[in-house]
Structure 1
C-alpha cells in the first residue's frame, strides 16, 4: 500500500472529516498520478508564477487542469513537453515546506525544480543574473547565547546533542559603531549560533533524527545547469537598463531564512561567513523536504536586489523584481527542456 492509500485508510473517506482525503479527491489524485511521473515546480509568489503561466510553452491538462487541496492549487500540464505539476507556496519557509511536502505526498513526482527571485550577496554578480547554487542552508535556526557567555562557553542543551557550535556564530557587537558614546555600551544581544536542521528521511528509522545544514542539489540536475550559460536574458525595465546583460551562473551556496535581508552588513556577513550568493526565504525549505523525501531537486534564483547595498533610496526589487522573475522563468524553461 502506498503512502496515499495509507492516508486514506487512516483518515477515512468522509469529506466532512477534518484532515481527511475524501473519496472524490482520492480518485482524482490517483487519476492525476497515473499520468505521471511529473516534474514538480515550486514557486513562492504570484508575481513569480505569472510569467510561467503566460508562457506559450506551458499547456494545462485538458482533463485535470488543476487540483485544489489544503489551500493550495496544483496546476497540472506540460512545460516544454515535460509533464509538470506547479504549486505556488506563498511567502516563508513554513509555506514552502508545507507545499513541497503536499506535492510529494499527493502526486507521482520524479523531481522538484524551485525558482523565484533572490537578494544578492556576491559582489561579483549583479541584479538580473540568474544563480543556481549547489548547496542550500537554512540560516534562521539559531541558539541565542546568554549575555557575557563567549565562544568557549557551552550552549544551552549542547551537551545533550540538541545544539552545536560547529557551524559558527554572529557576534552583534562586531557591528557596533566605534564612537565615544558607544564604547561603554554592553552587547546585551551577545552571539547567535547557527544550527543544522533535524531531518527524518523516509528511508530511515522513524523518530531517529539526522542533522543537515548544507543540502546539496541533485548532481545530475546541477550538471544539466552547465548547459544554461548561453541563455540571452533581458537586462532592461522600460528605459532602465542594467550595466551589462544578465548571465546564468552556477554558484557554490545559497541561504534562506524567514527574513527579508535589506541590510548591507548582514549581507556581507553571509557572503564572508558562508560564501553565500543567493539570499531568499524559501529555497532551503524545499531543499530540506526533498532531502527527507529522497527526491531530486534544484533551485533557480534570479537576483532582484543587492540586499541593502545598492540604492540609498529604496530596495532595488521594487524596480527589478519583474525582470528577475521573467529571467528565472526563461532559465526554468530551458532547464526543464533538457531533462531526460
Structure 2
C-alpha cells in the first residue's frame, strides 16, 4: 500500500507540468505585443478589466481594449525572446491574431522620427553567413543557398521551416495578414499622432502612418549609417528592429494572422547628430499605441 501511494504521488508530480502548461484563458483574444517596458504604459492604460498571469517569468495581462478582448505581454528584446514568448502566448491563450506595437529605427530616408510604419512583410537581415575572405574578396560559401546582396562579409539569406517528411520550406519574407493590413489602411488617416513631448521638445515635422513596404529584424541594435543604407538598398526596407520578424515567423508557422505597428524612435544611425531614441522613445511609443488602439477598435 505504501509503495502504491508513492507511485501515485510520483505520477501526479510528473503530470503537474503538463497540466500547468494548459490554456490559462479560453476567450478568443487579440494578442497585443510590445518588446520592453517603455513601450507598454499607453497600452496598459487603455486596457480595462485586467487579469494577470505569470508564466516562466513572463507577465500576461488579459482585458478589454476599445471593447475588444485582448491579451498583452512583453516579448522581451531580441529575436529569441520574441519567438519564445509569442509561442508561449499561443500555447496558453486562445489567440485570434497577433498585433505588435513598439518603436524601431527608420531606414527609408523619406520617413522621420515619430512616423508609424505598418510593413506588409518582415525578414531577418542577419540570418545567413559571415563569409570567409579570399585573395579576390569574400568567397560565397555553401550557406545560405540564396543570398541577398551582402554587406562586407555578411550575407543574408532565407530561413528553413520544417514541413514534416517533406523538404523544408525556404522563406525570407513573412507576410502581414492582408485583411489586417486593410483595416490598418482604413483607420490610419484618422489617427492623431503626437509631434511634441513637451514645450521645446517637438519634432520638426508632423508624424504620419505609412501602411505597406518591408521591415527587417535582427539581434543587434543598429546605429550605423553605412549599414542603414545597405538595409535600405538590399532589402528595400522602411524600418528595422530587433523582434518583429521573429514574431512574424512564429505567426506564420502557427497560421495565426499577424500585423506590426512600429513607430520610429530614431534613424538607425542616419540622424544628423546623436541617436535620438532616448529623446523620442516615449513619443514614438505613444504614437504606435494610438494607432494600435484605433486598429483594435476597428476589428470585428
TM more than 0.5 = yes
Task: Quote how far apart the aligned CAs of 1:22 are.
Answer: 4.0
Q: 5 Å matches for 1:100-249? A: 100-148=86-134, 154-156=140-142, 158=143, 163-171=144-152, 191-200=153-162, 204-205=163-164, 208-227=167-186, 228-238=188-198, 239-249=200-210
Q: State the superposition RMSD in angstroms.
A: 2.1
Change (3 A) 1:319 1:15: farther
* Paired residues of 2:52 and 2:59 also in contact (CA < 8 A): yes
Distance in 2 (CA, whole Å) between partners of 1:205 and 1:70 is: 29
Runs of 4+ off more than 4 Å: 149-154
Question: How many residue pairs end up in the alignment?
Answer: 288
Change (3 A) 1:15 1:269: same
Ranges in structure 1 where 5+ consecutive residues have no aligned partner: 1-11, 172-190
Higher strand share: 2
Task: Quote how far apart the aligned CAs of 1:152 are.
Answer: 9.6
* Paired residues of 2:194 and 2:287 also in contact (CA < 8 A): yes
Change (3 A) 1:40 1:207: farther
Change (3 A) 1:247 1:151: same
Ranges in structure 2 where 5+ consecutive residues have no aligned partner: 1-10
Change (3 A) 1:151 1:84: farther
TM-score by length of 1: 0.80
- 1:86 equivalent to 2:69? Answer no
TM-score by length of 2: 0.90
Q: Does the residue aligned with 1:229 lie in a helix, a strand or coil?
A: helix
- 1:71 equivalent to 2:57? Answer yes
Aligned to 1:294: 255
* Paired residues of 2:96 and 2:256 also in contact (CA < 8 A): yes
Distance in 2 (CA, whole Å) between partners of 1:71 and 1:311 is: 40
Q: Deviations for 1:288-331, whole angstroms, at most 9, x for unmatched residues?
A: 0001101000000000111112142x210110000000000000
Q: Deviations for 1:99-139, whole angstroms, at most 9, x for unmatched residues?
A: 10011112111110011000001111110011100110011
